[in-house]
Structure 1
């Protein structure tokens, strides 16, 4: 679940959960606070709106009863002197927290039992002037009784008055308690709901953020092995996955950088040694000439040939180092063109056969069933690949019978070149590393076979720049086979297949 969905659900929950919790609480609160007000009747429970409707209904019932008294006073006033009728009406008013007093002139005919305990008769019998001063209509008497009056004439034309008293104390005190209690309860429910949802949502966000923070601190201290390990399907999970990928790449980059640094140190050491050897030979030859040791034409020519040989060796080392550096930095341009690989390898093998440095080695080429196979390649770089592989094979061949065989394996989209020798072979431990930079299968620097360790690494980089792959198979004492692939092209258009 995404954080956006979680936040949306929390917003919905902050609205629905308080409402769901508040309704049961409102019933409990109404039953607790309205016990006094609803005396003599069944306790009602509900929301403030429902309570207001109940109270309004009670007021309407009271008004209906009072209207009935007014009707009797208007059309049958003598019924208001009937105590049985008045007691029956009084019982109905009492259920509505109300009572009434009936006066005939200054005489009290009836006082409701609801008004017991208050000396209303004394005040009401004090005379009309006194009653006018009390101004009963529209005010509260004794601080909690609201009064309504109705004046009418009896049949003997004597004035009569009905006073209706309603207990407002219970009503208003109940509302004074209920409304704040409802409001406070609602605020508490909202506050607790928001606090709980906020805690849960923030915990689901803050906890993984702290985990990421700890991971960054470990990385800052150089510990790139510390894993975050957050398996989540949300934005933080995506962030964690990206962070973990960054950590792995950074670890790999630093490891590779350290390896590069180690390789550079090894390169400097190896190249320094390889350069020092021919330089030392050149210095020895020059000193021999200067010291007069080469006192004949024949000796001078011998020393010159030695100087030339050592200089050529230095030039080869420097060229190889320069080429590898440009390949490593991706700064060596490639000029691809369509090449008939069968014809190209046929010419290459022919050149090897006439190379005086390859005397005593037999070269063979098996083109396969197809007379022409077209690839897109850089002639110069492909020649460097072939030369480095062949030279590597020549350097590790022993015995009288020395053979190097070249072959082609044609497939639908690529062609595989195979170069096989019958040399000493490569150990199984060394075989996976022969294409690595600066790797030497022969650890001794004094060996005549020792080189810079860049020959096959250069082969690998050039082949990969062509879009191919390179690998080797070898058995000790039987020889080595090196394979590399090149993408085929359409012979007509020159486009890659």
Structure 2
């Protein structure tokens, strides 16, 4: 739709409309096309003096100059587009190898863990050498998976232990029930009924302790930790234990607060008062069952060592066999004193106590008290919990 460019004969420019407009004092420009399709731009400018138009200056580009400029600009745009596309491809490959592929591998591993089809533990890819978010995600997933597998293994072991422990009283109970109709006299029936009642009570204790142990982790995870004053808590527990009488043997129970290193030492810890009290109660009752019938003594001692609050529960009983010092914290392991009826304890008390201590970031261990002559004069349980700084 552009006008066709023609050269005027004799060099007369009056045939150009822009020239005629310029004679009136108006600048003008026109774009034309040659017969070869090349663009030509003509610009007419009036030559004036004191507002009088003396002439017109007409400037025209050569044929093809505009096309060359447009072509050069198009090539420049194409080159820029090509470089941008190449950069995008390189960045895509780089991001794919450094971000997408690791995330895909982590996602696939997580799916395999969820399905749980493999017999062995599924290994999460390790990108911990990367100091970025992918590396942090890899470490977090590996730790979470390890904790999950450990929890599953603990549940499986706990279920196996529970099944084993429940079978013993159930077997005894079934035998007694099957034998009861065959009893010939009242004395035999009474003995069998005593066995049945004993097994029922044992089952009741086992189920109660198993229920307590199974919900312990969930309870500690849901509850909010609070400040606990160990000095007050231990004092109250010791006072309550002193008042316990009934069928239990008489025991001299002492509570000692050791502030030799720091007279103003604070015994505040962060945790769950009920559960910490359960540890101390278990240790006191365990010591009470082992002290002698006469002159039995239990000492609960509280001290502070740097950033730890340490509770000692000592007794003057027979002590612990060397090979059983670690085994006594195993689930369902029982080593009761002579004369105590079998099945009076479930064997979960010390196991639960250590579990509570570890949930508070502490430790619970046992050791023997050696006298001056080297003989064992009792047992000592040591509970260590993280404490706040010295005042």
Give your verdict on TM over 0.5.
yes
8 Å Cα contact 2:109-2:125 kept in structure 1:
no
Q: What residue in structure 1 maps to residue 348 of structure 2?
A: 454
Secondary structure in structure 2 of the residue aligned to 1:472: strand
The residue aligned with 1:494 is: none
How far does residue 229 in structure 1 lie from its aligned partner after superposition? 1.6
Provide the residue aligned with 1:424 in structure 2.
320
Displacement after TM superposition at 1:251 (Å): 3.7
2:97 maps to which residue? 207
Match of 2:12 in 1: 137
Q: Is it true that 1:196 corresponds to 2:86 in the alignment?
A: yes
CA distance in 2, matches of 1:391, 1:293: 40
Q: Classify the secondary structure of the residue corresponding to 1:172.
A: coil
Q: How does 1:4-153 map to 2 (within 5 A)?
A: 134-138=9-13
CA separation of 1:326 and 1:201: change in aligned 2, threshold 3 A: closer
CA drift at 1:303: 5.5
SS of residue in 1 equivalent to 2:320? coil
**Counterparts in 2 of 1:259 and 1:382: CA distance versus 1, 3 Å:** closer
Match of 1:322 among 197, 211, 215: 211
Q: 1:293 aligns with which of 185, 190, 193?
A: 185
RMSD, matched Cα: 5.2
Give CA deviations for 1:196-226 in whole Å, capped at 9, x if unaligned: 3223322332222122213322333347423
Counterpart position of 2:151:
256
Tell whether the 8 Å contact from 1:439 to 1:454 is kept in structure 2 after alignment.
yes
Q: Greater helix share, 1 or 2?
A: 1
2:202 to 301, 307, 313: 313
Q: Deviations over 1:344-372 (max 9, x none)?
A: 41552564xx564558xx655352468xx
In structure 1, the partner of 2:20 is: none
Unpaired segments ≥5 residues, structure 1: 1-132, 144-165, 490-496
In structure 2, the gaps of 5 or more residues are 1-7, 16-35, 37-58, 114-120, 260-265, 336-340, 370-374
Select the residue among 104, 121, 127 that pairs with 1:229: 127
Q: Distance in 2 between matches of 1:337 and 1:218?
A: 42
Count of residues in correspondence between the two structures: 306
1:484 to 376, 383, 390: 383
**Structure-2 separation of matches of 1:243 and 1:313:** 47
Q: 2:73 aligns with which of 180, 183, 197?
A: 183
Distance 1:199 1:419, change over 3 A: same
- 1:365–1:405 Cα contact (<8 Å) kept: yes
In the alignment, is the contact (CA less than 8 A) between 2:357 and 2:364 conserved in 1? no
Q: 1:407-461 CA deviation, whole Å, 9 max, x = no partner? A: 2123499864322344233548x72x7556x36487xxxx958964422233245
Q: In the TM superposition, what is the alpha-carbon distance from 1:249 to its structure 2 partner? A: 0.8
Residues 333 and 347, structure 2, Cα contact 8 Å, conserved in 1? yes
SS of the counterpart of 2:124?
A: coil
- Shift in CA distance, 380/275, structure 1 to aligned 2, threshold 3 Å: farther
Distance 1:340 1:202 in 2: 62
Larger radius of gyration: 1
